[in-house]
Amino acid sequence: MRKTAIRFLLALSLGGLLGTALSQDLVFPIGEDARFNWSDLERFEAIDLSGQTIEVFGPWLTVDRDLVLSVFAYFEQATGATIAYAGSDSFEQQIVIDVQAGSPPHLAVFPQPGLAADLAARGGLVPLGDELADVVRENYGAGQSWVDLGSYPDADGNVQFFALHYKSDLKSLVWYSPDNFADAGYEIPQTMEELIGLSDQIVADGGTPWCIGLGSGDATGWPATDWVEDLLLRTQPPEVYDGWVTNEIPFNDPRIVGAIELFGTFAKTEAYVDGGVSSVGSTDFRDSPVGLFTVPPRCYMHRQASFIPSFFPEGTELGVDADFFYFPAFENLDLGTPVLGAGTMWAMTRESEGARVLLDFLTTPLAHEIWMAQSGFLTPHLGVNLDAYANETLRGQGEILQSATTFRFDGSDLMPGQIGAGAFWTGMVNYVSGDSAQSVADDIQRSWDALR
């Protein structure tokens, strides 16, 4: 394997638009970092794609754009291909326009599987084939979940594998202060029963177990939808979740109402929440974790996704001042270790030999490790070297993804916008403000019925 620091030039072009070219040294000289599966490149060095340009369109700008380009550089060096990446904050609208106009890129990077499914049903995506689906099934933690996430009916109603997952976000986390837990003698709960028991113990000791805030400007309410989705995965089989997000199972089904009420066990128990129940709907989600770091602590736990440390007080050291644990499952329900999250799905919108080879490259451990070693990347790929993660926080989150028995994408993102980013958000605010779970679920179902 070559040991050299090579240079690359990536012209960002798509649909006649030319962006600024990027030229820099490869972040990790080939062969010199023992954490990476460099042997993965050998297969691609035997494939000559010289003269081929692969157009990729996605949502990434600034930092994430530069990071994905760093991954592309190794593929380009191995194959001779040129990858032209364009990013846009209007990706969701533009990709539909491009497909309808007959001028799509070769590959599109979808933040929401629902949009990919819509385009597949309209004949706008190219099937990726069973062989690639088998690679995902065999090499990813909860592999069938990832295959299912990328499988949609085509224009004839036949379900095919259309989208490859690459780059994950993790939501099933509880954040805490290790010092506060140690001072109080608390241990990390391993089951939901233990988590509820710990919450009760904290109250009995005179403390407050949870910080919860649903405020988010025009998007107020969304943090509660994550709670409900996580809890539904811990009280019902994944098939119930799947039926719920498509409304094959009504929103006011008793199983869904039960998950909302279980959220209420945490958010509507006065002694459980920093500031009391009245603060839940009005506290901004960015401010809600601050209580973990006060002296004495205003709360001991905060359930939120992997991005929340961005809003921790300046100077907070992860792994020391703050850490996390898996939002646990119920021991007595035997539903495995479900994980809620999000991420991006890569689909082919125009047939291309080079695009197929690039998708194959993205299933290799190396293509994950290059980004893992930098920032903002998690993967369920079982073949990666976990030591490649940039820090122990990312490594721990990666281990949770790998060990999941079920993965499900954020449910509100899979629902129609009027529901997932509308009635559901509003309903959760109404619920913590005093409405019953049943009345909230009935209202959301009526909104869904009105779409038909």
Question: What is the C-alpha separation between 81 and 60, in angstroms, rounded?
Answer: 21
Q: pLDDT tens string for the chain (452 positions)?
A: 433 333 333 333 233 232 323 334 689 999 999 999 999 999 999 999 999 999 999 999 999 999 999 999 999 999 999 999 999 999 999 999 999 999 999 999 999 999 999 999 999 999 999 999 999 999 999 999 999 999 999 999 999 999 999 999 999 999 999 999 999 999 999 999 999 999 999 999 999 999 999 999 999 999 999 999 999 999 999 999 999 999 999 999 999 999 999 999 999 999 999 999 999 999 999 999 999 999 999 999 999 999 999 999 999 999 999 999 999 999 999 999 999 999 999 999 999 999 999 999 999 999 999 999 999 999 999 999 999 999 999 999 999 999 999 999 999 999 999 999 999 999 999 999 999 999 999 999 999 999 98
Domains of the chain: 7-170+341-407 (3.40.190.10), 173-339+410-449 (3.40.190.10)
Is the Cβ–Cβ distance between 419 and 444 less than 8 Å?
yes
The predicted structure's pLDDT at residue 452:
82
Residue 377 CB partners (closer than 8 Å, separation 6+): 67, 167, 168, 368, 371, 394
The CA distance from 450 to 118, in Å, is: 20
- The amino acid at residue 287 is D
How is residue 255 written in tokens? 């199983």
Q: Mind giving me the DSSP string for 330-370?
A: PGGGT---EEEEEEEEEEESS--HHHHHHHHHHTSHHHHHH
Cis peptide before 209 (omega within 30 of 0): no
Residue 1 · residue 11 · CB < 8 Å: no
Rounded Cα distance between 214 and 391, Å, is 29
367 φ/ψ sector (left φ>0, alpha ψ -120 to 50, else beta): alpha
C-alpha to C-alpha distance for 208 and 271, rounded to whole angstroms: 6
Query: Which residues have CB under 8 Å from 158's CB, separation 6+?
Result: none
**What is the Cα–Cα distance from 448 to 258, expressed in whole angstroms?**
19
CA angle in degrees (0–180, nearest 5) for 51-54-55: 135
Would you give the distance in Å from CA 158 to the centre of its chain? 27
User: Distance (Å, rounded) from C-alpha 22 to C-alpha 83?
Assistant: 12
* The pLDDT value given to residue 1: 44
| Residue 410: Cβ-neighbour burial (10 angstroms; 0-12, 13-18, 19+) | buried
- pLDDT the model gives residue 16: 29
* CA 205 to each of CA 176, 211, 215, 271: distance values in angstroms, whole numbers, following the listed order: 17, 17, 29, 11
Q: Where are the alpha helices (DSSP H) in 177-220?
A: 178-184, 192-204
| DSSP code per residue over 42-60 | HHHHT---TT-EEEEEES-
CA distance 132 to 151: 12
